[in-house]
Amino acid sequence: MKSAGSRFRAALEHNQPLQIVGTINAYTALMAEKVGHQAIYLSGAGVANASYGLPDLGMTSLENVLEDARRITAITETPLLVDIDTGWGGAFNIARTVKEMIRAGVAAVHLEDQVQQKRCGHRPNKQIVSKAEMVDRIKAATDARTDAGFFIIARTDAFAQEGLEAAIERATACVEAGADGIFAEAVHSLEDYQAFSEALSVPVLANMTEFGQTPLFTLTELHRAGVAMALYPLSAFRAMNAAALKVYQCLLTNGDQKDVVADMQTRSELYEFLNYHDYENKLDELFKQ
């Protein structure tokens, strides 16, 4: 079996752009895999929000994110991209983060140039570290690779503060430092993506997060702009949250769930994704009366 990183590289080669979908937990990863997605994502915001009920402000740790990543890699071979925020510290911490991610069966990570007290990329008043410091982060990450296939994406949040040219310059420096891909965060237009992809020799990632700074471009539009990876970090999570809220409100208001049963995934659908019957048959076979 090829390493997770090599599987990610293969998926990237065969899908242009490669859709990378957020899977907030192991079960949603199973659903994404079974409907045919080739790459999945563990969002930093998602771990903070869903697993800890916290905002995406750099409050979760390496161990917190690893725990959620391991649950996903234990159940699916679909390559997983993980958001490692700022890498959780200096060069040695970043090296340890990369090694632990590889050990956990993760295929790829993105490491960003915000200060440790980071914010969501689509919020105002983000602060970034110097280009030199970001290059050091990337060098620490690429040097720590214990699997040559492991895919390291440098994310730059520089566009918001410093504009397109400076952001491309920073991205170029990250590529020179060994980054395998560039995540151009919170850019505004297809022309911006085009400029990144034309200037860089590595695949560019576009973040199609909803309710942010970037319009929700189609896959065809992104392809034309030279984008290689399209990320949907929290799309399913946002939809799940709205559905759950509706159920909680309905139970309170109506005193029963009849009005929302039609919105629910059925027991048999759930069992299908879980391969439930295979497990049950095995049990019957092993413990025949």
Q: Which of 83, 100, 157, 180 is in the footprint of Mg ion by CB under 5 A?
A: 83
Per CB under 6 A, contacts with ligand MIC among 226-255 are 233-234
Contact (CB, 8 A) for 29 and 242: no
Asked whether position 22 contacts Mg ion by CB under 5 A, the answer is: no
Does residue 46 interact with Mg ion by CB under 5 A? no
* Active-site choice (9, 25, 37, 83): 83
**Of the listed pieces 25-33, 45-53, 143-151, 195-203, which binds Mg ion according to CB under 5 A?**
45-53
158-176 vs 190-199: helix axis angle to the nearest 10?
20
Q: What is the DSSP string of 59-119?
A: ---HHHHHHHHHHHHTT--S-EEEE-TT-SSSHHHHHHHHHHHHHTT--EEEEE-B-SS--
122 touches ligand MIC (CB under 6 A)? yes
Q: 33, 68, 100, 112: which is the annotated catalytic residue?
A: 112
67 counts as catalytic: no
Which among 87, 221, 78 is positioned nearest to 154, based on CA atoms? 87
Please compute Rg for the chain using Cα positions: 20
**Is there binding between residue 44 and Mg ion (CB under 5 A)?**
yes
Which range, of 83-91, 178-186, 197-205, 251-259, touches Mg ion by CB under 5 A? Answer: 83-91
The distance from CA 193 to its chain's CA centroid, rounded to whole angstroms, is 19
Q: Which residues contact 35 (CB under 8 A, 6 or more apart)?
A: none
Q: Pick one of 33, 68, 83, 113: the residue that binds ligand MIC (CB under 6 A).
A: 83
Nearest CA to 105 out of 73, 63, 83 is that of 73
Q: Is 155 annotated as a binding residue?
A: yes
Q: Segment near ligand MIC (CB under 6 A), from 41-49, 162-170, 259-267, 272-280?
A: 41-49
Strand pairing class (181-184; 204-207): parallel
Distance (Å, rounded) from C-alpha 272 to C-alpha 31?
10
Nearer Cβ to Mg ion (20/45): 45
Active-site entry in 122, 155, 170, 193: 155
Closest CA to 195 of 159, 231, 161, 155: 159
Concerning whether 112 is annotated as a catalytic residue, the answer is: yes
CA atoms within 13 A on the CB side of 266: 4
37 binds ligand MIC (CB under 6 A): no
Asked about 85 being catalytic, the answer comes back as yes
Catalytic site includes residue 191? no
68 binds ligand MIC (CB under 6 A): no
Positions annotated as catalytic residues are 41, 56, 83, 85, 110, 112, 120, 155, 185, 207
Question: Could you list the residues that contact ligand MIC (CB under 6 A)?
Answer: 43-46, 56, 83, 120-122, 207, 209, 212, 233-234
Annotated binding site for substrate: 43-45, 120-121, 155, 185, 207-209, 238, 267
Annotated binding site for Mg(2+): 83, 85
